[in-house]
Structure 1
Amino acid sequence: MLPTSQDTPTTSMEHLRPPEPIDGRALRTACGYFATGVTVITSGDGVEDAGTTVNSFTSVSLDPPLVLVCLHEKSRLLPVVRDARGFVVNFLTKRQESVAWAFSGRQTARLDEIPHHRSVQGLPVLSEALAHLECRLSAEYDGGDHSILIGEVVGLGTPTAEENPLIFFQGAMRELDESPAGRRG
């Protein structure tokens, strides 16, 4: 149960004091306790293709089918997505941890170094991804040092065989617990 204002005693002047600014590193550490899937967002027109590792992904709506990803304002992928007017969310498998790291830095891997193919709309899709969502860029919002991109899902691919997803928790790539207790049957 979350504490309420009735549970937390305050002095009469505490409510007038502005809150202390949140340290970015402390926020990153706290958010590290939220396990997320690992994706590589890809985009491009075949001439200029790019990708970047992202764990800030969420499903927004089923009708219409919308998803959200966040890209840093200095990401080299952001102008590529804007030019292509779309992107692909590639969900990674545990086997693709090296791919996640290859696309995670400022100097990321080139797509021609990774097995990929073109979607129906012509966007790059990682061929060995667990699943993928092909998205048309629907909206973009200011998110501080990130851009919040809303994509309308126009195509998708799901696995034909069961694979373990790659997850990110406390600053490390991990896999789900494979014990029988960790799976529902």
Structure 2
Amino acid sequence: MIEPREFRNTVGHFATGITVITTINGKEKIGLTANAFSSLSLDPPLILVCIDKRSGSLKALKRDHPFAVNLLKKSQETECWRYAKSSGDKFEGAAYKLSEDGVPILEDNLATIECVVADIIEGGDHYIVTGLVKNASYDDQGEPLIFFRGKIEQLELAKTVEL
């Protein structure tokens, strides 16, 4: 079987966007950086995000619990690192508003997807959290913040071609 480091280096060649997952646990605001995110289904509208089993943020994610996926734009690298740390008040000094469910929504995102937890599935050293999408918004002029080969990158968009 492939060694974990070699596997990580290999899958690191797949460029991904960077998200910040936000939720609440009582009055506590919770946020964590994740790049293992994907759309899952159009009907019903579902997404998935993979979260390390060691994450303290998992305690808040239960079936039918609200959360948001904040897709970061290239100007939000500071937000990426803010929510990647494991301690302290990650929201201190952050620009956010609260959703109707009280979930923090980061301001000036590339896109925001508001969900409720549909299911939590065990997957190796992570949990796969699926979310039923309740609301979504996006900035169609923004450019994404990218994770590639273990580094944060900024993608410059070329002219788009209609397919």
TM-score calculated relative to the size of structure 2:
0.91
What secondary structure does 2:84 align onto? Answer: coil
Map residues 24-103 of structure 1 onto 2, 5 A cutoff: 24-45=4-25, 47-82=27-62, 85-103=65-83
Q: How many angstroms apart in 1 are the aligned matches of 2:150 and 2:18?
A: 12
Q: How many angstroms apart in 2 are the aligned matches of 1:60 and 1:109?
A: 31
1:120 pairs with 91, 95, 100, which one? 100
Supply the AA of the counterpart residue of 1:166: L
2:153 pairs with 145, 151, 174, which one? 174
Q: How many angstroms apart in 2 are the aligned matches of 1:73 and 1:84?
A: 19
Supply the AA of the counterpart residue of 1:183: K
Deviation per CA, 1:26-54, whole angstroms, max 9, x where unpaired?
A: 11100110000010000005611111110
Greater strand percent: which structure? 2
Contact (CA 8 Å) 2:63, 2:116: kept in 1 or not? no
Deviation per CA, 1:83-138, whole angstroms, max 9, x where unpaired?
A: 88121000001110011012113336522331111112221110121110011000
Number of aligned residues: 161
Instruction: Report % sequence identity.
Output: 37
Q: How many angstroms apart in 1 are the aligned matches of 2:72 and 2:66?
A: 19
Contact (CA 8 Å) 2:143, 2:156: kept in 1 or not? no
Supply the AA of the counterpart residue of 2:73: T
Contact (CA 8 Å) 1:91, 1:129: kept in 2 or not? yes
Contact (CA 8 Å) 1:45, 1:84: kept in 2 or not? no
Contact (CA 8 Å) 1:52, 1:108: kept in 2 or not? no
Contact (CA 8 Å) 1:97, 1:166: kept in 2 or not? yes
1:106: which partner in 2?
86
TM superposition shift of 1:25: 0.7
**Is the alpha carbon distance of 1:164 and 1:108 closer, same or farther for their aligned partners in structure 2, counting shifts above 3 Å?**
farther
Contact (CA 8 Å) 1:102, 1:109: kept in 2 or not? no
Runs of 5+ in structure 2 lacking a partner?
A: none
**Is the alpha carbon distance of 1:143 and 1:73 closer, same or farther for their aligned partners in structure 2, counting shifts above 3 Å?**
same
Q: How many angstroms apart in 1 are the aligned matches of 2:111 and 2:146?
A: 14
Q: How many angstroms apart in 1 are the aligned matches of 2:123 and 2:13?
A: 21
2:142: which partner in 1?
163
Runs of 5+ in structure 1 lacking a partner?
A: 1-20
Contact (CA 8 Å) 1:117, 1:125: kept in 2 or not? yes
1:154 pairs with 134, 155, 159, which one? 134
Select the structure of larger CA radius of gyration: 1
